[in-house]
Amino acid sequence: MPTDHGNLGTLRHSFSEVHNRHTDAGWAREVTVRNFPISKNMAGVNMRLPTGAVRELHWHVPAEWAFVTYGSGRITAVDSGAQKFIADVKEGDLWFFPGGVPHSIQGLGPDGCEFILVFNDGNFSEDSTFLITDWFNHTPKEVLAENFGVPASTFDRTDRKDLWIFNAPPPGSLEDDLEQSKQPFVPNPYAFPLAAQKPNFESAGGSVRIADSSNFPATTMAAALVEVAPGGMRELHWHPLSDEWQYYISGTARMGAFHGEGRNNTVLFHPSDVGYVPQSIGHYVQNVGKDTLRFLEVFTSPQYADVSLASWMNNVPHELVAAHLNIDVSTLRKMAQAKTPVVPV
Ligand code: MN
Ligand code: MN
């Protein structure tokens, strides 16, 4: 764009351009600060688990935010109060596991699931999590025997390698799984039906659905699912509390990002692309394709927050703004408006 100036470092990467780690059961690919240097505070993973395939029981230091893009799966976790969580999630649902909370994911029929994971640490790697098999394999059998009150030979046939993603029989009924332990259920569930909730904002141009600590108390990472109609636009705005990690689900987008000091970059996005906008950098996202644009905005702050340029101009004296922009006050009164996350087409 002729208004572009300076290089902000690339604001775009794509899962379609990175190494895909396969096992005979499923696959995962990741975009981290190592291959996407601007992505300092969040890392992303795209994972596929066919029916029965399991992402091994594991935990990690950062928190995990996730969105199901296809199919369905069963997720499990337990918190530090020994309270259980087991749920089935489907396309459009999200989950959130706080840092250190151990969990698993398994594909359900008929075709398993695919999902996006976002971690609140750009350095995180899906290849370096704490795996239950890894711990068993590196703990003396006598210690395991003492811990569980069973003979050491119990562990003779435990797999000697990490499983990570492996095939297992598909799970039985959710009710049976929930009844196995008599422990209480976690007070704040780790799953949330993001796509099924009523939009927080809706206009002729599109909609925004938000899941943050106000309606999804388990989370410390806010997020939004944004839909923009062809020709519509996510308005000029910025986020005062956090960087923004984006995932483009469908459609074609053009984002302009303003970094101050005269620097501005414009970037095109297609499905499977990841975008990144540092905290308080001004930006807009246009739907420049023929189909509905759908993308995710994910943040490291518990609360969702954005500042609207139009709303700013509406809430300070119009004469003051007019003096800056050399626009008639009468024209400005028509331009400045209430916050409109997706402007009408
Ligand atoms: Mn995990
Ligand atoms: Mn934004």
Helix (H, G, I), strand (E, B) or coil at 252: coil
Write b or e for each residue in 75-99: b if 16 or more Cβ atoms lie within 10 A of its Cβ, otherwise e. bbbbbeeeebbbbbbbebbbbbbbe
Indicate whether 150 belongs to any domain: yes
What is the CA(237)–ligand 2 centre distance, in A?
6
Indicate whether 124 belongs to any domain: yes
Q: Which ligand is nearest to the CA of 241?
A: 2
Helix (H, G, I), strand (E, B) or coil at 276: strand
101 shares its domain with 168: yes
Structural domain for 292, as ranges: 195-343
The residue written with tokens 């359900």 in the block is 108
Note the pLDDT tens digit of each residue in 77-91. Answer: 999 999 999 999 999
Count of Cβ atoms closer than 10 Å to residue 111 Cβ: 13
Helix (H, G, I), strand (E, B) or coil at 333: helix
pLDDT confidence of 14, banded at 50, 70, 90? very high
162 shares its domain with 220: no
Q: Given this model, what pLDDT does residue 1 score?
A: 78
d(CA 141, CA 161): 15
Indicate whether 7 belongs to any domain: no
pLDDT confidence of 3, banded at 50, 70, 90? confident
The domain that holds 80 is classified in CATH as 2.60.120.10
The one catalytic residue among 227, 235, 244, 297: 297
What is the CA(133)–ligand 1 centre distance, in A?
15
Indicate whether 5 belongs to any domain: no
What are phi and psi for residue 35, nearest 5 degrees? -110, 0
Q: Given this model, what pLDDT does residue 96 score?
A: 98
Q: Which of 157, 191, 225 is the last residue of a domain?
A: 191
What is the CA(145)–ligand 1 centre distance, in A?
27
What is the CA(103)–ligand 1 centre distance, in A?
7
206 shares its domain with 185: no
Q: Which ligand is nearest to the CA of 66?
A: 1
Average pLDDT (117-121) is 98
What is the CA(257)–ligand 2 centre distance, in A?
10
Indicate whether 89 belongs to any domain: yes
Q: Which of 160, 191, 222 is the last residue of a domain?
A: 191
Retrieve residue 45's tokens: 């993973």
Retrieve residue 20's tokens: 């895909």
| Catalytic residue status for 56 | no
Q: How many helices and strands (H and E) does the chain possess?
A: 6, 25
d(CA 273, CA 295): 10
Note the pLDDT tens digit of each residue in 34-61. Answer: 999 999 999 999 999 999 999 999 999 9
115 shares its domain with 148: yes
Note the pLDDT tens digit of each residue in 179-207. Answer: 999 999 999 999 999 999 999 999 999 99
Q: Which of 191, 225, 256 is the last residue of a domain?
A: 191
Q: Which ligand is nearest to the CA of 43?
A: 1
- Structural domains of the chain, count: 2
Compute the half-sphere exposure of residue 73: CA atoms within 13 Å on the CB side of its CA: 31
pLDDT confidence of 8, banded at 50, 70, 90? low
Q: With beta carbons less than 8 A apart as the criterion, state whether 85 and 127 touch.
A: no
Interacting residues of 173 by C-beta distance below 8 A, sequence separation 6+:
none
Which amino acid, 102? Answer: P
Q: Which ligand is nearest to the CA of 245?
A: 2
What is the CA(64)–ligand 1 centre distance, in A?
6
